[in-house]
Chain A
Amino acid sequence: MTTVEEQLLPSTEPVRLIDQDGVPHDHPSYRLPTKDVLVDGYVELIKGRRINDQAGALVRQGRLAVYPSSHGQEACQVASSMVLRDGDWLFPTYRDTVSIVSRGVDPIETLTLLRGDWHSGYDPYDRKVAPQSTPLATQLTHAVGVAHAARLRGEDTVVMALCGDGATSEGDFHEALNFAAVFHAPVVFFIQNNEYAISVPLARQSVAPSLAHKGIGYGVPGERADGNDLAGLLAVLGHAVAKARAGGGPQLVEAHTYRVQAHTNADDAARYRPDDEVAPWLERDPIKRLETYLEQEELLDDAVRARAEKAAREVAEKLRDGLMPEPDVDPADLFAHLYSEQTPQLTEQAEFLRDELAREEA
């Protein structure tokens, strides 16, 4: 007989299956993913890192308005998509570009919002990825609604809802966990705890033993994983998804990771954290450790490296070619999608703008 605490509280230490030196470790509850899955994950990590690098470069060239990088968090990004099936849903934030692309969404469409456009780019129904949420934690209750609708229809859909450590302070985080628990909704809440909400460190968000501990207050099982260990994340998130799919209700997973770069290109991290805080996290890089492990296991041959490099090169080329400095925009589109049927007032305003533009051209 297990106690309620045992069922709901996370493990004392974050689950880690491959350590920062690439050494595998046995775990009483979680098993190392198969070799094929780890190799696929490696390819996705290399691609994800390249997306972050390329997007950063595009910001400097003025072709992207802003980019909140997930550099160093790629294992979280990749794992959150890899554990889902086609029919499942992903609810991402603005820092989850890599996760969205990993899910199969076109990278140019994924970066539409961050290039400063007025719309979300991709069709959310296409790959079942909700529009990236800029307000914090508000998308988590939407995830509960999507999951509840599926459950009412008897579908076995699971919804993966992403947020950061700062978002756990928002009211909607708590309402979402509580609603999901009360309605037994199949949602996996996945917190990427990267230690910072712009400049504010975790200690100012919460003094809970861990963010995964917050689940117990709602009757939601919590678990924590090393956020830079793809193997551990795939095991923990895969288990959470399977439990939710099997009718086990919502699950809460916290990944311990670190925001290696500033909040965005517009931020200056030197104002609030010393460089020597960052250094040890570079040693814990998610790609390096998996690479070491795969090399030791002789799973990283030239073919795999070539596959990873090709995937990375292709996505980077796509971004460079697709993100033109001056995107083609039609101002009339600003009025076109507010309502199924445009109101007479909006028609009038759209005509006003059109006439104004026509006069400028004449």
Chain B
Amino acid sequence: MTHVKISMAQALNQALRDAMKSDETVLMFGEDVGALGGVFRITDGLTAEFGEDRCFDTPLAESGIVGMAVGLAMNGMRPVVEMQFDAFGYPAFEQIVSHVAKMRNRTRGRVGLPMVIRMPYAGGIGGVEHHCDSSESYYAHTPGLTVVAPATVADAYTLLRKAIEFPDPVVFMEPKKLYWAKEEVDLTEDQPGIGTAVVRREGADATLIAYGPTVPVALEAAEVAAAEGRQLTVVDLRSIVPFDDETVCAAVRRTGRAVVVAEASGFASVSSEIVARVTERCFHSLAAPIRRVTGFDIPYPPPKLEKYQLPGVDRIVDAVDDLQWEDS
């Protein structure tokens, strides 16, 4: 198969198209996903190709969208819904926490919900308020949910296909600022599945742990660090739940030092969970406390100020420099 140069948005669109082609129970719906093709064009052309019954607009009510998806999934369908923007998903929070996450458990496995909640998330696009939240920690904290965040074009395609085929509900976090990032990819090439982290770069000195929008930033920081004489490993989590302890801990044990890089506010977050679990498992391999580079504990700032909130290359390299390379 030949490689093609496409964007993450195109890869997601192709994943939806291929899933809908291969399984007629796959339905795509939400706000503006029909004729418009979604505000980010992820569902572009799907209504035209598959018809109004397969890809359709709904009334503007996120709880209703997710609640209806629960019923469709209970009755033989594989719904994929779009929340348009991260912060627009909050009206659906009760449905997600009280029903989507719990249905399988409270029916002792009799009612599984094969459904995907697509969540364009995080910042870096100059969005106004309520358009740039990193809400993954809320979902990762909820037992029963599977939470996935791709960082590459190939993963966007593979992980969305696997999420749609998954027997349980998946919250699929799409890093908005990477929608337009293009890569040469072969979409037929199989990638690791949900629950598996991947080492994107090998280096012996320290490990950067990232997911979603911070993976490219971590890779760039590793380039800069290499120029300054430090070789960094970069782990791309891909899947927040289930968490791949094995891959993450193996990398930290090899390097003895680690920095977690995430866009979300750090307090009580996925990043704090990573530090806790890695410390619990790899304490004797650590030469320094694990550092975090995260968003501040503030509401996501307006466009002109967002650069201060986003984990950048300099902050990451500084955090690496701070990993107690010498006793002071």
B residues less than 8 Å from A150 (CB atoms): 75
Complex: A130 Cα to B107 Cα, angstroms: 10
Decide: B64 and A149 in contact? CB cutoff 8 A.
no
Nearest Cβ on chain A to B306's Cβ, whole angstroms: 31
Decide: B107 and A340 in contact? CB cutoff 8 A.
no
Nearest Cβ on chain A to B101's Cβ, whole angstroms: 8
B98 within 8 A of A: yes
Decide: A172 and B64 in contact? CB cutoff 8 A.
yes
Decide: A145 and B106 in contact? CB cutoff 8 A.
no
B19 within 8 A of A: no
Checking A118, A143, A179, A345 against B58 with a beta-carbon cut-off of 8 angstroms, the contacting residue is A179
Chain B positions 127 through 153: 1 when the CB is less than 8 Å from some CB of chain A, otherwise 0: 000000000000000011010000000
- Excluding A148-B68, A336-B109, 7 further A-B contacts by CB distance (< 8 Å) are A124-B110, A125-B111, A141-B95, A146-B71, A149-B76, A172-B64, A175-B67
A138 within 8 A of B: yes
Nearest Cβ on chain A to B163's Cβ, whole angstroms: 13
A76 within 8 A of B: no
Chain A: interface residue total (CB-CB under 8 A): 39
Query: What are 16 contact pairs spanning A and B, CB under 8 A?
Result: A123-B110, A131-B111, A135-B99, A141-B71, A142-B74, A145-B68, A171-B61, A171-B63, A175-B63, A179-B58, A336-B108, A337-B104, A338-B143, A339-B104, A339-B168, A345-B243
Decide: A176 and B105 in contact? CB cutoff 8 A.
no
A residues less than 8 Å from B69 (CB atoms): 145
Decide: B242 and A343 in contact? CB cutoff 8 A.
yes
Decide: A147 and B71 in contact? CB cutoff 8 A.
yes
Complex: A343 Cα to B104 Cα, angstroms: 14
A307 within 8 A of B: no
**Residue in A closest to B69 when the chains form the complex, CB atoms:** A145
Decide: B59 and A175 in contact? CB cutoff 8 A.
yes
Nearest Cβ on chain A to B238's Cβ, whole angstroms: 15
Checking A119, A138, A182 against B67 with a beta-carbon cut-off of 8 angstroms, the contacting residue is A138
B residues less than 8 Å from A344 (CB atoms): 242, 245-246
Complex: A147 Cα to B79 Cα, angstroms: 14
Complex: A339 Cα to B91 Cα, angstroms: 25
Nearest Cβ on chain A to B192's Cβ, whole angstroms: 15
B residues less than 8 Å from A124 (CB atoms): 74, 107, 110-111
Decide: B105 and A337 in contact? CB cutoff 8 A.
yes
Chain A positions 331 through 347: 1 when the CB is less than 8 Å from some CB of chain B, otherwise 0: 00100111110011100
A93 within 8 A of B: no
B residues less than 8 Å from A319 (CB atoms): none
Decide: A145 and B58 in contact? CB cutoff 8 A.
no
Complex: A145 Cα to B113 Cα, angstroms: 12
Decide: B68 and A138 in contact? CB cutoff 8 A.
no
Decide: A141 and B146 in contact? CB cutoff 8 A.
no
A152 within 8 A of B: yes
How extensive is the interface on chain B, given as a class? 35 or more
Complex: A135 Cα to B74 Cα, angstroms: 18
Contacts A138-B95, A172-B63 hold; do A148 and B105 have CB atoms under 8 A apart?
Answer: no
**Residue in A closest to B91 when the chains form the complex, CB atoms:** A171
Checking A125, A145, A148, A339 against B110 with a beta-carbon cut-off of 8 angstroms, the contacting residue is A125
Complex: A182 Cα to B60 Cα, angstroms: 11
Interface of A (DSSP majority class): helix
**Residue in A closest to B242 when the chains form the complex, CB atoms:** A343
**Residue in A closest to B143 when the chains form the complex, CB atoms:** A338
Nearest Cβ on chain A to B296's Cβ, whole angstroms: 29
Decide: A144 and B74 in contact? CB cutoff 8 A.
no
Complex: A182 Cα to B56 Cα, angstroms: 12
A residues less than 8 Å from B75 (CB atoms): 145-146, 149-150
A120 within 8 A of B: yes
**Residue in B closest to A161 when the chains form the complex, CB atoms:** B71
Nearest Cβ on chain B to A41's Cβ, whole angstroms: 29
Decide: B68 and A141 in contact? CB cutoff 8 A.
yes
A residues less than 8 Å from B243 (CB atoms): 343, 345
**Residue in B closest to A149 when the chains form the complex, CB atoms:** B75
A97 within 8 A of B: no
Decide: B242 and A131 in contact? CB cutoff 8 A.
no
Decide: B68 and A179 in contact? CB cutoff 8 A.
yes
Checking B63, B106, B146 against A131 with a beta-carbon cut-off of 8 angstroms, the contacting residue is B106
A359 within 8 A of B: no
Decide: A144 and B67 in contact? CB cutoff 8 A.
yes
A204 within 8 A of B: no
B112 within 8 A of A: yes
Decide: B72 and A146 in contact? CB cutoff 8 A.
yes
Complex: A175 Cα to B31 Cα, angstroms: 14
Chain B positions 153 through 192: 1 when the CB is less than 8 Å from some CB of chain A, otherwise 0: 0000000000000011000000000000000000000000
Decide: A338 and B144 in contact? CB cutoff 8 A.
yes
**Residue in A closest to B102 when the chains form the complex, CB atoms:** A338
A271 within 8 A of B: no
Contacts A119-B105, A337-B104 hold; do A145 and B71 have CB atoms under 8 A apart?
Answer: yes
A70 within 8 A of B: no
- A-B pairs, 5 with minimum CB distance: A145-B71, A141-B67, A175-B64, A149-B75, A142-B71
For residues 164 through 184 of chain A, which have their beta carbon under 8 Å from a beta carbon of chain B? 171-172, 175-176, 178-179, 182
A residues less than 8 Å from B242 (CB atoms): 343-345
Complex: A12 Cα to B241 Cα, angstroms: 54
Nearest Cβ on chain A to B93's Cβ, whole angstroms: 11
A residues less than 8 Å from B302 (CB atoms): none
Decide: A340 and B168 in contact? CB cutoff 8 A.
yes
A residues less than 8 Å from B168 (CB atoms): 339-340
Decide: A145 and B245 in contact? CB cutoff 8 A.
no
Decide: A144 and B59 in contact? CB cutoff 8 A.
no
